[in-house]
Each structure stands twice: as structure tokens, then as C-alpha cells.
Homo-oligomer: A and B are copies of this chain.
């Protein structure tokens, strides 16, 4: 876990405005700002590991992160993604359990850290933060359940199409408005859809042949997202 000098500003200067901390008073913002730690993470580095003791929560100042768990056979399953402004590791706030997933940085990122205690202190005096936290948990639960039903009932092709849509809704497109702004390996895409690397390669080729996507190495271009939506939703 490398630490280098970063240019992360005080929380009051941070422009991640629509996140969970937006309801804090200036004093509370100042308090977390004084107590936070900031780190730089290089692509591929882990922020925390599944099973490790939780020491607090993380806020992504700028970056992209995947959360994954290992199955009993050692295969990875991607649970969720997080991006600039999102927080990580907040689930361990409510129990003394270790982290339930491993957070891995998908591209060079700046991430702040706040201790459990500071966060819960603020929650105690700011019911809006509690409320926001519950909404966040509730939202994550909803998507986990949706992901479950997708993996349980859809074909690989539908799941891959859905995985690409998830990457789009989470990380968006590049400036050209059609190229996914995140580049993953085929194996990482497989770990989202719950399939193998080979099947993912073949399925992406099929989607390409059907003009649902275009492939330029790891770059994935989605000219028309509704084509993917159709593929992911229907049994043909």
C-alpha cells in the first residue's frame, strides 16, 4: 500500500458534492478533514482485503475501484464498483466483522481514510448522515439482489451484456460518448458476469458480430446502448 505525497484538498474544498457527506455542517466537515488520511493507490493495488480487520471507511477522492469476493474454489466474483465520490468499507461500521470484500483500484486513485469512530461520532449528532447511510445500504442491497437474480436466471450472453451496461452506468463513456471509460481484462469481465475468461472472449466476439459493440483491444465501444439493453433483457 504505497503512500506518496498527494494533492488532496481539505474536505471543505473537495468538489465531490453529491456524496454522503454533503449534509455535514461546516464544523463536521472540518472535523473529518482534520482526521482523515489520504493515500495514492496505483492501478492494481488493494485498498483493503476481504477478511482483514476493519479500521474505518474510505472515500474515493478520485478513482475507480472494484469490490470482489473470493469463492471457495478461489475464483473471484465482482460484487460492486465504486468511483469518485463513493465511499467504501462502511458496512463494517455496524459490526466488528472484518471487511467482507477486497477493494482493488482499477486505475491510479486518490483515496481518503476515516476511522470508524469519527464517522459514528458524526452519525450520532447528525441524523441526516445516518439517513444517508441507510439509503446507501438500501441501494446496495437492492442492486445485490438484482445482480443475484441476473446471475441465477440469465444466459451468459445476457449477463455479459448486462455487465457492460453496469460499466457504462457506473463509469460512463469517454469524451467520444461511446467508448467505455474503464478498461478491464476479459477475465475481470468474466468475474462480473460469473463465467469463465474463454466464454467471455467468445461472447464479446458474438456481441461484436451482432453489432451490439465494437472491440479495439481492451477498449469497448457501445454505439447504441439500447441494443445491449435489449440483449440483456430478453430471452430469444
Chain A residues packing against B (C-beta within 8 Å): 69, 71-73, 75, 77, 79, 91, 93-95, 97, 100-101, 124, 127, 130-131, 133-135, 137-142, 144-145, 147-154, 194, 233-235
Q: Are B234 and A72 touching (Cβ within 8 A)?
A: yes
Q: Are A95 and B135 touching (Cβ within 8 A)?
A: yes
Q: Are A77 and B148 touching (Cβ within 8 A)?
A: yes
Interface of A is mostly: helix
Q: How far is the CB of A135 from chain B (nearest CB, A)?
A: 5
Specify which chain B residues have a CB less than 8 angstroms from the CB of A127 in the assembled complex: 124, 127, 130
Top 8 closest pairs, chain A to chain B, by CB: A152-B194, A71-B153, A137-B137, A144-B144, A94-B138, A94-B135, A77-B149, A148-B148
Contact (A130, B140) CB under 8 Å given A77-B148, A149-B71, A153-B75: no
Specify which chain B residues have a CB less than 8 angstroms from the CB of A79 in the assembled complex: 145, 148-149
A101 — nearest CB in chain B belongs to which residue? Answer: B145
A92 — nearest CB in chain B belongs to which residue? Answer: B138
Contact (A142, B94) CB under 8 Å given A130-B134, A149-B69: no
